[in-house]
Amino acid sequence: MVARPPVRLVIDRMTHADLAAVQAIEKASFTTPWPSYAYRNELETNRLAHYLVVRAAGAVVAYAGIWLMVDEAHVTTFAVTPAWRRHHVGERLLLALLDLSIARGAREATLEVRLSNLGARRLYEKFGFRPVGIRPRYYSDDHEDALIMTTEPLEAPAMAALLARRRAELAAIPDPEAPG
């Protein structure tokens, strides 16, 4: 087997040109995907919304969004295309989302995640999110409960140290090879 060359990951703001790729990842990732017009509406009309994408060799392989409400960053969506999972793409994207939140003055970050989504929960825990509550029957497709997770204050020394450690760990990992 021939090794593939590493692919540089680039994190950038989501644009209208990314919407078809985002929708494809959305459909591959969620049983009830957002409708195709939702992201367009978020980009065009929601002043609270900020969306990022991860590109590998020019192709969108992940995306995430937050709403910045007063001093809270609420993660609204987060997905990595199946072929690129377990390549540290989600970690890099979550760190960029938290950096954006801090730069925009957020004091903490919060999100909801399916109780059954252990992989996502572990990722969020690595970046300081901790369970703070349950939203019963939150998901419309199967009425699964959502776990509410929140960070410590983003500017707190312990959180700053955690993010610095994660940043250093990610910097030490070589760029991934394109999945087969």
- Catalytic annotation present for 63: no
Which class for 13: exposed (0-12), middle (13-18), buried (19 or more C-beta within 10 A)? exposed
* C-alpha torsion angle, residues 179, 82, 25, 46 (rounded to 10): -110
Category of 70 on φ-ψ map: left (φ > 0), alpha (ψ -120 to 50) or beta: left
Among candidate residues 4, 151, 156, the one with its CA nearest the CA of residue 87 = 4
Q: Tally the C-alpha atoms within 13 A of residue 49's C-alpha that lie toward its C-beta.
A: 17
- Catalytic annotation present for 112: yes
* C-alpha span between 118 and 115 (Å, rounded): 7
Catalytic residue among 72, 112, 144, 152: 112
Catalytic residue among 39, 51, 63, 124: 124
Among candidate residues 133, 134, 135, 76, the one with its CA nearest the CA of residue 101 = 76
Q: How far is CA 160 from CA 29, 157, 166, in A?
A: 30, 5, 10
Catalytic residue annotation? 112, 124
